Amino acid sequence: MSPQNGQMYVLRSATGVVADVDHSNTAPGTKIQGWSPNGSKAQSWVFWAKDNGSWLLETGLTHGTHGPGQAMVLDYDFTNFRAHLVKEHGQANQLWRLEDAGDGYVRLKSLRTEGGDAYLTADGGGSFLGVWRSAPGNDAQRWRLEGVAGSGQGGQGGQQPQPQPQPQPGGGGSAVEQMLNLVNQERAKVGLPGLVLDGGLCAAAQRQSDDMARNNFLGHVGSDGSDFSRRFKDAGVQSTSGSENAATGSDVRGTMDMWMRSEGHRNNILGRDYRRFGAAFAPGSGGRWTQTFAN
- 164 pLDDT higher than 80: no
Query: In terms of Cα–Cα distance, which of 254, 253, 256, 231 is closest to 242?
Result: 231
pLDDT tens per residue across span 42-92: 999 999 888 678 999 999 998 877 655 678 999 998 888 999 999 988 788
The C-alpha atoms of residue 289 and residue 283 are separated, in whole angstroms, by 9
Region class of 27: left (phi > 0), else alpha (psi between -120 and 50), else beta: beta
Percent of the chain topping pLDDT 90: 53
Query: In terms of Cα–Cα distance, which of 89, 281, 274 is closest to 179?
Result: 281
Strands 276-282 and 288-294 come out as: antiparallel
- 4 pLDDT higher than 80: yes
When pLDDT is cut at 50, 70 and 90, the band that residue 270 belongs to is very high
- Cβ(17)–Cβ(125) below 8 Å: yes
pTM of the model: 0.53
